[in-house]
Chain A
């Protein structure tokens, strides 16, 4: 075997690519893992939470070696209406016990670690390498091109992210549609751990994850906030088509969110150290391309548009890792066609069944009033009930009905309830 020939070439050292390379290399496969950034993670942005089961699936106990931030023990949902906010806080210490359910992560450190794990397992890792094209021979993908260099492999795994230019080049599926993605913007804000713990009501390495609705000027989307070690990840994801129609620059809406009093109090005194943006697959199961493989090629992770967003739970990195493992297992099954084996592994490892279980959830986000009217309604109704001004209050039921009518008609309410019911 010559130097530039491998069993498998994995393009992209995000969680999907590194998981795949790791699982192949530990079984003795000759794997090349390529990353276009100067280091793994250098080109990646994510909200910032990894569900730990995926690392456990790859190798029990592996998460203990990973540079994870905080284990999430509080889940918060924030309904925003201008300066007002109503926040639901769900705390369950059990989420942090045993193998914690999830951790906040910072991709620059997580991805760099993951790629180094693949390397330690025997994969050849090369960063600063942009895959420029594919080698196609006799109807199969036979390798990749990096500049003038050609590298060959039995299988090329496209783990090149949501834009997956490689899968497009392979003719597997067209460019991602605007309606199928969200554009996320995010600031990383440094704060001392003692301040984070005090403000968020956690101790040690416990952490908080928050989603927010009502902070997007009515655009389909929502805010997020994750506590890390020594920093917070704060951002918003927008539906790009609706954001364009709204007409106000998305980073301006995001800066408004920083000034929302309930958010401002949490980030006060912090130092913004980085600004990032990324696309995320948003529509779940129905957004998965029909063809995820062809002879000599598999598509994994964001490139395959694996993602789940229930409004409360947002999953991507875990599915990426599981899909990387599924691809590796398929490749390791000698004698079976790799593509179909990959799809069966995605079933066996519960990725596709899980995405199917949430297949219609995206319909919830088709209820446009979720992003403005309902958060407003909640804040106005609760605001009224907490209000004391020394005057004789109006009858409670009458006032609450008035608050509802101010925001939605009963016809809309019924239609939205039906749509919500149909979606879940």
Chain B
């Protein structure tokens, strides 16, 4: 068997998550994202939590790897709040 190219969904499918339903640890203001010209989050989020849907930035924190890149690159302060997930939620790395 040869090793395959993996899609973002397949990559995240390798990982163990415990999603904190109803308590997103990152809050995104779509109104600010709407006027952001650069939208670096679409490119650099390693989990592709930020995606373009009908011309708008759609954010889903399920699959977040908790790296902090979106917070650091966000240009127009569309990421209004960034925290780590509550204890026992989020990603659990087993062999990284």
Contacts and interface: CB of A to CB of B under 8 A. Distances in A.
Partners in one complex: yes
Interface string A32-44: 0000111001111
Interface in A140-192: 162-163, 165, 175-178, 181, 183, 185-189
A269 B11 contact: no
Nearest to B92: A42
B65 A276 contact: yes
B47 interface: yes
A248 B8 CA distance: 13
B3 interface: yes
Q: Which of B3, B38, B73 has the most CB of A within 10 A?
A: B3
B91 interface: yes
A43 to B, nearest CB: 6
| Interface band, chain B | 35 or more
A299 B37 CA distance: 36
B14 A272 contact: yes
Interface string A243-266: 110111111000100110000100
A241 interface: yes
A244 B46 CA distance: 12
A36 B91 CA distance: 11
B3 to A, nearest CB: 5
Given A107-B93, A278-B67, A249 B43 contact: yes
Chain B at the A interface: mostly helix, strand, loop or mixed? loop
A233 B90 CA distance: 22
B15 interface: yes
A106 interface: yes
A275 B10 CA distance: 9
Interface string B12-37: 10110000000000000000000000
Chain A at the B interface: mostly helix, strand, loop or mixed? mixed
Contacts of B6: 187, 255, 272, 275
Contact of A240 (B5, B15, B40): B40
Given A38-B88, A45-B96, A246-B43, A277 B73 contact: no
Contacts of B73: 178, 240-241, 244
A259 B91 CA distance: 27
Contact of A248 (B12, B43, B46, B84): B43
B44 A240 contact: yes
A273 B16 CA distance: 10
Given A244-B43, A269-B3, A274-B94, A183 B69 contact: yes
Contact of A107 (B3, B90, B96): B96
Contacts of A250: 43-44, 46
Contacts of A108: 93-96
Given A247-B43, A264-B3, A273 B68 contact: no
Interface of A: 36-38, 41-46, 106-108, 128-130, 162-163, 165, 175-178, 181, 183, 185-189, 231, 233, 238, 240-241, 243-244, 246-251, 255, 258-259, 264, 267-279
7 contacts: A108-B95, A163-B71, A241-B40, A250-B44, A269-B1, A274-B15, A279-B72
| 10 closest residue pairs by CB, A with B | A244-B40, A277-B46, A275-B11, A276-B96, A163-B68, A277-B65, A45-B96, A277-B67, A255-B5, A183-B69
Interface of B: 1-6, 8, 11-12, 14-15, 38, 40, 42-44, 46-48, 65-69, 71-73, 83-88, 90-96
Given A43-B90, A176-B72, 18 more contacts: A38-B88, A41-B93, A42-B94, A43-B92, A45-B93, A46-B96, A128-B87, A178-B73, A240-B73, A241-B40, A249-B48, A269-B2, A271-B3, A273-B94, A274-B93, A275-B15, A277-B47, A279-B68
